[in-house]
Amino acid sequence: MTNEEYRENVLKTESVKEVNLDLFTSRLLHAVMGLSTEANELLDNLKKHIFYGKELNIVNIKEEAGDSDWYMEVLLDIINETREKIHHLNINKLSKRYPGQIFKSSSAINRNTDNELSHF
């Protein structure tokens, strides 16, 4: 399935509810809240594994990864952007942060965010 086909299918199942906000803000809020929820569900899975001794639930991780991807696709549609363009922008940012594309803690701590984000 292509990214375009995936987005088309995602948008067929998006809930767009009137919540006294304009449509853009309502959709953006739904997408960001959904991403936060899915991240917390992943974290809960890991918490139960580490602290309660439960087996790590890989099926749940796959499910939550898919749900997170769903919300991200909605978010990208809202801002009229493609996954490929976001990937490109992110790699450009990281190339500026980590010259030679080599991770260094000092580069992660002492960042020049104006330079990193100048291509956005």
Do 59 and 99 lie in a common domain?
Answer: no
Taking only the tens place, the pLDDT of each residue in 25-53 is 999 999 999 999 999 999 999 999 999 99
Mean pLDDT over the full length of the chain: 94
Do 60 and 112 lie in a common domain?
Answer: no
d(CA 6, CA 97) in angstroms, rounded, equals 32
Q: Give yes or no for residue 18 having a pLDDT over 70.
A: no
User: How many domains does the chain divide into?
Assistant: 2
pTM of structure: 0.81
**In Å, how far are 57, 89, 92, 106, 115 from 63, measured between CA atoms?**
10, 27, 30, 35, 37
Dmax (CA) for the chain in angstroms is 48
Do 34 and 63 lie in a common domain?
Answer: yes
Residue 89's pLDDT band, with cuts at 50, 70 and 90, is: very high
Q: Give yes or no for residue 67 having a pLDDT over 90.
A: yes
d(CA 114, CA 97) in angstroms, rounded, equals 11
d(CA 94, CA 6) in angstroms, rounded, equals 27
Do 70 and 109 lie in a common domain?
Answer: no
Q: Which structural domain range is residue 99 located in?
A: 82-120
